[in-house]
Amino acid sequence: NSGTMMLKLLLLVTLTTTITCKRGGKIKRLAAEITALQDALAAVLNDTVGSLDEVMEVIDNFKAEQVKVKEDNAWIAHHAAAAAACRGSTPTGGSGPWGN
């Protein structure tokens, strides 16, 4: 009986060690997978931040171009108004070497 008890005890220790090792291996694999996923997420976030910075730069450039277009349109409108006022203030509609 004591031999059977020792055999059962040895079997129990062996099974416990095997289960612990397998779990430890699984935990290590899961930890490695978590690390890989964290690295992948960090890469995606870095790409996203870079992309957002690029988009914001394009928007800022577009806004600056729109300001320039509005300024150009304002000068054109002022010139047209001045030309119309000049023509309207003379009996013949104005004359001279340059066109308005």
Residue 63 has pLDDT above 90, yes or no: yes
Name residues whose C-beta falls within 8 Å of residue 83's C-beta, 6 or more positions apart in sequence. Answer: 100
Name residues whose C-beta falls within 8 Å of residue 93's C-beta, 6 or more positions apart in sequence. Answer: 87
Alpha-carbon separation of residue 25 from 19, 32, 52, 98 (angstroms)? 10, 10, 40, 90
CA 51 to chain centroid: 4
SS3 100: coil
Instruction: State pLDDT tens for residues 16-62.
Output: 767 766 666 777 777 788 888 888 888 877 777 677 778 888 899 99
Residue 74 has pLDDT above 70, yes or no: yes
Is the pTM for the entire model greater than 0.75? no
How many CA atoms are closer than 13 Å to the CA of 12, on its beta-carbon side? 6
